[in-house]
Amino acid sequence: MTNLVLAVRAHRFETLAVGLFAVASLGGAALVVVRLMAYGIPASCFRGTGPSLICQGLSGDMDAYLSIARDWGFFALAGIVLLPIVSGLFLGIAMAGKEIDRGTTVFAWSLAPSRRRWLVQRVAPAALAVVVAGLIGGFFGDQLEALRDPGTDPATTFGHLGLRGPVIAGEALAVFGLALAAGAVLGRILPALLVAAALSVGAIAGVNLATDAWLHHETVAVLGVDDVGNVQPSWRVVDYRVLAPDGAIITWNEAYARYGDPGAPQSSGGPVMPDLKTVLFVNPGEIYPLVVARMTLLFAALGLAGIVLAFAVVDRRRP
Partner 1 sequence: MPIVVADQLAKRYGRAEALRAISVEIEGGGVTALVGPNGAGKSTLLKLCVGFERPTAGRVTVAGADPTRDRAAAIRAIGYVPQSPTLYRELTLAEHLQLAAGLRPGFDLAHASGRLDDLGIPESSKPGELSGGQAAQVWLAIALGTRAPLLLLDEPLANLDPLARREFLQVVADAAKANGVTVLLSSHVISDVEPIADRLLLLADGRVLAHDTIEATRAAHRTLRRGADGAERPTTGALVSVFPERDGRLVELRRVEPGTPGEPSTLEEIVLGYLASVRPARRLAAA
Residues in touch with partner 1 (CB under 8 A): 2-3, 6, 9-12, 102-104, 106-115, 118, 316, 318-319
Q: Which residues contact residue 34 at a Cβ distance below 8 angstroms, ignoring those fewer than 6 apart?
A: none
| Nearer Cβ to partner 1 (217/316) | 316
Between the CA of residue 58 and those of 39, 93, 136, 150, 193, what are the distances in Å? 9, 50, 31, 14, 50
Q: Cα–Cα distance between 283 and 2 in angstroms, integer?
A: 50
Least distance between partner 1 and beta carbon 24 (Å): 23
| Nearer Cβ to partner 1 (159/319) | 319
Least distance between partner 1 and beta carbon 184 (Å): 15
Q: Which residues contact residue 22 at a Cβ distance below 8 angstroms, ignoring those fewer than 6 apart?
A: 83, 87, 133
Instruction: Name the DSSP letter for residue 251.
Output: -
| Nearer Cβ to partner 1 (60/113) | 113
Least distance between partner 1 and beta carbon 211 (Å): 41
Least distance between partner 1 and beta carbon 99 (Å): 9
97 close to 188: Cβ distance less than 8 angstroms: yes
| Nearer Cβ to partner 1 (90/139) | 90
Letter string b/e over residues 55-88, b meaning 16 or more CB atoms within 10 A of that residue's CB: beebeeebeebbebbeebbeebbebbbebbbbbb
Pseudo-torsion of CA 246, 248, 252, 253, nearest 10°? -90
Least distance between partner 1 and beta carbon 107 (Å): 7
| Nearer Cβ to partner 1 (12/216) | 12
Least distance between partner 1 and beta carbon 319 (Å): 6
| Nearer Cβ to partner 1 (109/288) | 109
Least distance between partner 1 and beta carbon 18 (Å): 15
Instruction: Name the DSSP letter for residue 218.
Output: T
| Nearer Cβ to partner 1 (99/145) | 99
Q: Which residues contact residue 179 at a Cβ distance below 8 angstroms, ignoring those fewer than 6 apart?
A: 88, 89, 90, 91, 92, 93, 97, 192, 193, 196, 200, 306
DSSP run (H or E) holding 243: strand 236-243
